[in-house]
Structure 1
Amino acid sequence: MRSFPYPDAGSPDLRSPARYLWWLARAELGTLLAGVLFGSLWTVCQALTPFVLGKAVDQGIVAADFSRLLQWVALLIGLTLVQSAAATLRHRVAVSSWMQAAFRSAQVIGHKVTRSGDALPQKFSTGEVVSTAASDAMRIGEIYDVFARLSGSVVGFLLVAFLVFQSSWQLGTVVLVGVPLCGAMLLFVIRPLQSRQKEQREAAGKMTALGADTVTGLRVLRGIGGEHIFVQRYRERSRATQLAGNKVAYSLADFDAAQVLVVGVFSVAFTWIGALQALSGQIETGQLVALYGYAVFLVSPIRTASDAVSRYIRAHVGARRIIDVLATPSAVHDGETTVPAPGGPSALVDTTTGVLIQPGELTAVVCADPGESANLARRLGRFEDAVLREAHVRWGSAALHLVPLGQVRSRIVVSDADPQLFTGTLREELDPTGRHSDEQILAALDVASAEDVLDGLENGLNDEVAEKGRSFSGGQRQRLALARAVLTDAEVLVLVEPTSAVDAHTESRIAEQLRASRSAPGDTTVLVTASPLMLSVMDTVLFLVDGKVAATGTHRELLATVPSYRSVVIRGEGMDGHASDGHASDGHEEDLQMTNEGGL
């Protein structure tokens, strides 16, 4: 039994589609060789069957030798049994090769998605990435599926050519020249198929991307009455994909017709020459019977070769799409020069804004422009190294972008304003690493005031979470994401608008519980918010104006001494209203959305 995912999928060769396919082949070389072995054994048995049948006719039936007939029949039965076993094993190995290649490709794409930061979403839509992992990866696997049959067909073809030469050099020449010539003739039909399949793949990718983006924003579209516009756009994309698929179908029909014609002409010519030689006495009756069997057998290598070429074309197109995704430079990565992370809790300093986050404190960041505070959270979480090279963030004495990425991700966690929930049980959603007991998970839910979410689930922590948590309201998703963030036990926890979608009573309780849960020595908590209820429990509040720290103090101090701060906070309170759980009320959270490997 083979288990997926791989502990290490490896580093793919991205220099060209052919090199990428070869990299996959090397990764499963043992399975491919087993496929060659069983595929060859399977076709050798097929190729020998007409030979044995011809011998049984000549030496048993024509010669009226019953004992020889029994011997050849026994051999024929043996070949049938071996062929059946080899066919079963070949199929199992072929499917294994297909799955290994497909899953390895999907795994490296998934790894790229989690490691690329914002670079990948800026270049590709969600639908395009999903289509690459779900469709292109599977198409790549097809070429390894057919490889066992192709290798066996080559061995079988050479064996048949040798056996035919034993009967007639003219027919042997026809086999050696005719079969490759028939395969070459089919290439003229395959060329237009390649270009049309590429067009169809691109059209399908655009349609999938549009569909995924539309579903993601469906609630917003309905709110503004714009869903009919996107429905029409999707219909247009779907129609374009259908037309592209029709062109592919035309080429496939031409290809199948060409196969029947070319293979049929070859089989008729081969059989006709053999019949003439049998009438002239050049070959015996049993040899003629064997030639009929060879003619039927030789249809398989031709079709297998053409099928392999067709699948290779699809795999080549898919590999190019995968390379485009994998070759996208990551927004974050371990540089050539790294410095060790601080040995213990240390201050975070953002040189762009002048923000100083003291270790072991609860610090809030307030700004009239949500974009500025969101960018600060991105820098503190190391979302883009290119930005940090120009606007340094220091962690203790180390430049944050030079600290090994693994240490940053394990010690600094950012929970953004648009939390993502994945499929699986609620327990797995809240504690992906499985490090916490049920009591600890329940305690985190209590901090996030999310016990009511658990009470409404039939199976409790074992209940299945729907895709993107669509079965939960906006406030419930937000509170579950907060509980998940608390369970990371991160040394530095950055929360962006963690309570924008909850009512005032729930928010007040969350504020008190969060302060209590993050009171351990060394726990550093940063909140990006304008909510007075959350600000009231903070040790320090930093007020940003025009991207710089304009005032520092407690919430009460800033309310009393900084009119512009009071204006921002009061405005935020008036806009929030905290009317009901499940509806985002800040009005700013769309500006604060972030998608990142380190975000929660």
Structure 2
Amino acid sequence: MGHPYHFGPSQSTLDPRALLSLSPDPAPDLRSPARYLLWLGGFQKATLAAGILLGTVWMASQAVMPFVLGRAIDDGVIGGDTGALVGWAGALLGLMVVQAVSDTATHRAGVSNWMQAAFRSVRLVGDKISRTGDALPTALSTGEVVSTAASDAFRLGEVYEVLTRLAGAAAAWLVVTVLIWQTSPVLGVVVLAGVPVCCGLLLFVVKPMQARQREQREASGKMTAVGADTVAGLRVLRGIGGEHIFVDRYRVKSAATRDSGIRVARSLADLEASQVFIAGSFSVVFTWVGASLVLSGDITPGELVALYGFSIFLMTPIRAAADSVARFIRAHVGARKIIAVLSVDANVSESGSPVPAPPACSVLVDERSGVVVEPGLLTAVVSREPAEATEAVTRLGRFEDAVLEQATVRWGAADLRHVPLADIRARVVVSEASPQLFSGPLRRQLDPSGRHDDDTLLAALEAASALDILDGLDGGLGHEVTERGRGFSGGQRQRLVLARAYLTGAETLVLVEPTSAVDAHTEQRIAARLGGTRRRDGMTTVIVTSSPLMLRTMDRVLFLEDGRVTAQGSHKDLMAGSTAYRNVVIRSE
């Protein structure tokens, strides 16, 4: 996460080629969880309709079976009609086949609907991560974002799977009501009104469960955030003996998550027990009324058997409703979390009044600091407070529009805020101070877009004085880099990131402290090769550094005090003419 195309610690871990293949859907409806779920459902109308139809056939075939069984008893067994018995038995066998086939097809359609919704949400979250920049990690913790993509999206997808069974159960309830009405209007009324009432009674259990599931989800996100922070800083924590502090914090968060999970489990147990009790009570009442009708001679024994079968089957719609409600609650909570991620606005967006990008070799000017970047030169920016220099040159990459509203940056004659982002990202690349690598082949780390051959990669590594790193790797450029590049030292990571920056071929390359983690001999080689590589190709390079080894090779040095340029010239001239500059450089040395 972080600035798009920003080669630093906040760069997205997604494969850039995968990002290029994304074709985002129209803007999602984020006004409420229900609207978001409806928006997702609109993309899979065909499979949803197929699942509902198949679920209806599946449940209806089950609903008709007690009726067929009752007729077989009345016509075939009690009536002594062998032909009728064979016919009804054949019908029963046919219903079993239809039920088996439709059950399988319903399950497949349901899982398809589930996966479509889940992965569309995951893709939206991934796209948001890659495009939002620093705004997302500022608004939400890493653990919260990870939990949203890894858990909430899949819980949300469950609702589309259960919808097929819920629709089928509702259709079967209507079929059973019609069949029972033909036998006894009284029982028909009992079924028509009783099943919805039983389902409504379950809402008294569902409401507290919704609050507890939301609480559990919040606790889980906090626990994941603490775990991610602990793992990220494990090496440092071990070095200072402070890992036990974070372990204790994680233990507390884990216990809170466990306790909230137990409370959710209690609610689920209450729901399960309630649906069994309510459905069982309804079945008892229904069977008692049916038995009374048999004793009074109003219905036949076969119809009683059918009614008993119906009473057992009618537990299915009630249980399906209870299961659906539980899943709808989880989906509602998950959708709310996804909306929280998708609602974060990026720090930078396309201007409503764009202007054409300036021609090549145009001057970059940061009016707040007075930094002027002349094309084709190696320019160093030095400051008593390194953060001031970093802030000034980072504005040249346009990563926060809010910052540029108070500090105008001009690129040629154009205001940088109104230049299309694609032009800026293609021509101005900012490489941050803290190097970052991700898991995958080293070749892909250096050349994410796959534009260069191995000879070009090796040339970039040589320019960054990083060829020696390959000597210790069995696979060479094919070496599998571990997560965050932990297999490399800080200096090695810094040199590999520098080579990656070279390979962008950016018209203007901004490097923030590119040699802070390397030794003096390596820094000297990098400084000598940097001048030859970039200057020879007529490209512009801006470096934030106070290292005299780097400064000696610069065409131009800008010195900042209190965020403003107060002196400029060659390193030699500034060392002779500016006491403040000399003090900063000597202190660095």
TM-score by length of 2: 0.92
Question: For residue 567 of structure 1, what is the aligned residue in structure 2?
Answer: 583
Structure 1 runs of 4+ off > 6 angstroms? none
1:401-412 paired onto structure 2 within 5 Å:
401-412=417-428
Q: Which amino acid aligns with 1:449?
A: S
Secondary structure in 2 matching 1:360: coil
For residue 520 of structure 1, report the CA deviation from its aligned partner: 5.1
CA distance in 2, matches of 1:392, 1:180: 64
1:440 match: secondary structure: helix
Q: Please state whether the residue corresponding to 2:535 is helix, strand or coil.
A: coil
Amino acid at match of 2:40: L
Q: CA deviation at 1:429?
A: 2.3
Matched residue SS, 2:573? helix
For structure 2, which runs of at least 5 residues remain unmatched after alignment?
1-17
Tell me which of 87, 108, 132 is aligned to 2:103: 87
Q: 1:556 is matched with which residue?
A: 572
Which residue in 2 is equivalent to 1:120?
136
Answering whether residue 306 of structure 2 is matched by residue 275 of structure 1, we say: no
1:526 aligned to 2:565?
Answer: no
Comparing 524-533 with 394-403, greater Cα deviation is found at: 524-533
Task: Give the secondary-structure state (helix, strand or coil) at the position aligned to 2:71.
Answer: helix
SS of the counterpart of 1:73? helix
Amino acid at match of 1:129: V
Residue by residue over 1:508-544, the C-alpha shift from the partner in whole angstroms, topping out at 9 and shown as x without a partner, is: 2222333333235452211111222222322222111
Tell me the amino acid that sits aligned with residue 348 of structure 2: V
Query: For residue 255 of structure 2, what is the aligned residue in structure 1?
Result: 239
Superposed CA RMSD in Å reads: 2.1
Structure-to-structure mapping, 1:433-512, within 5 angstroms: 433-512=449-528
- Of 483-492 and 191-200, the range deviating more from structure 2: 483-492
Counterpart of 1:122, as a letter, is: T
Give the structure 2 partner of residue 397 of structure 1: 413
Q: State the partner residue of 1:42.
A: 58
Q: 141-150 or 102-111, which moves further after superposition?
A: 102-111
Most deviating of 380-389 and 272-281 = 272-281
Distance of 1:294 and 1:454 partners within structure 2: 74
2:125 is paired with a residue of what secondary structure?
A: helix
Going from structure 1 to structure 2, the CA distance change for 1:40 and 1:6 (only over 3 Å counts) comes to farther
What's the CA shift string for 1:427-468, capped at 9, x where partnerless? 332222222223322332232233333343333333332222
Q: How does 1:294-333 map to 2 (within 5 A)?
A: 294-333=310-349
CA distance in 1, matches of 2:443, 2:193: 65
Structure 1 counterpart of 2:245, one-letter code: I
Q: Does 1:357 align with 2:386?
A: no
Post-superposition offset of 1:349: 0.3
Could you tell me which residue of structure 1 aligns to residue 273 of structure 2?
Answer: 257
* Map of 1:188 onto structure 2: 204
Rounded to whole Å, the distance in 2 between the matches of 1:458 and 1:268 is 73
The one-character-per-residue Cα deviations of 1:40-71 (angstroms, maximum 9, x if unpaired) are 12212222222222233333333333333333
- For the 8 Å contact 1:9–1:107, the answer to whether it is kept is no
State whether residues 24 and 124 of structure 2, in contact with CA within 8 Å, keep that contact through their aligned partners in structure 1. no
- Which residue identity does 1:387 align to in structure 2? V
2:587 is aligned with what amino acid?
Answer: R
CA contact (8 A) 1:127 1:209 kept: yes
Q: What is the CA–CA distance in structure 2 between the aligned matches of 1:321 and 1:551, rounded to whole Å?
A: 51
What is the SS of the residue equivalent to 2:426? helix
Q: Alpha carbons of 1:6 and 1:164: their partners in 2 closer, same or farther (altered >3 Å)? A: farther
Distance change (3 Å), C-alpha of 1:297 and 1:377: farther
Structural mapping, 1:134-149, within 5 Å? 134-149=150-165
**331 and 72 in structure 1: CA distance in 2 versus 1, 3 angstrom threshold:** same
Change (3 A) 1:87 1:6: farther
- Structure 1 counterpart of 2:563, from 508, 531, 547: 547
User: In 2, distance between residues paired with 1:516 and 1:78?
Assistant: 83
Mapped contact 1:382–1:388 kept (Cα < 8 A): yes
- Equivalent position SS for 1:552: strand
Cα distance in 2, alignment partners of residues 200 and 540 from structure 1: 58
Which residue of the partner structure matches residue 99 of structure 1?
115
Taking the aligned partners of 1:567 and 1:70, their CA distance within structure 2 comes to 105
Question: Is residue 72 of structure 1 aligned with residue 88 of structure 2?
Answer: yes
C-alpha contact 1:95 1:145 (8 A) present in aligned 2: yes
Do 1:131 and 1:205's aligned partners in 2 also have CA atoms closer than 8 Å? yes
SS of residue matched to 1:349: strand
Letter in 2 for 1:413: V
Look up the match of 2:244: 228
How many residues align structurally?
Answer: 571
Find the aligned partners of 1:332 and 1:498 in 2 and give their Cα distance: 25
Per-residue Cα deviation, 1:205-231 (whole angstroms, up to 9, x for no partner): 111112212222233333333322222
Q: Distance in 2 between matches of 1:70 and 1:479?
A: 83
The structure-2 alpha-carbon separation of the partners of 1:549 and 1:256, relative to structure 1 and needing over 3 Å to count, comes to same
Q: Where does residue 576 of structure 1 map in the other structure?
A: none
CA change 1:426–1:203 in 2 (3 A) is same
Does residue 419 of structure 1 match 2:431?
no
Map of 2:49 onto structure 1? 33
Matched to 1:541, the amino acid is V
Using structure 1 for the length normalisation, give the TM-score: 0.90
Q: Distance in 1 between matches of 2:359 and 2:306?
A: 80
Identity across matched positions, percent: 59
User: Using a 3 Å threshold, how does the CA distance of structure 1 residues 157 and 449 change in structure 2: closer, same or farther?
Assistant: farther
Cα shift readout 1:217-274 (whole Å, capped 9, x = no counterpart)? 2333333333222222222222222221221122111111111111111112222222
Q: Secondary structure at the match of 1:518?
A: helix
Per the TM alignment, residue 350 of structure 1 is displaced from its structure 2 partner at its CA by 0.3
The counterpart of 1:202, out of the listed 198, 218, 223, is 218
Distance 2:84 2:223 in 1: 66
| Cα distance change on mapping 1:86 and 1:473 into 2, 3 Å | farther
Comparing 453-462 with 548-557, which one deviates more in the overlay?
A: 453-462
Find the aligned partners of 2:301 and 2:436 in 1 and give their Cα distance: 74
Instruction: Give the drift of 1:372.
Output: 0.5
Q: Write the distance in 2 (CA, Å) between the matches of 1:527 and 1:472.
A: 24
Letter of the 1:322 counterpart: I
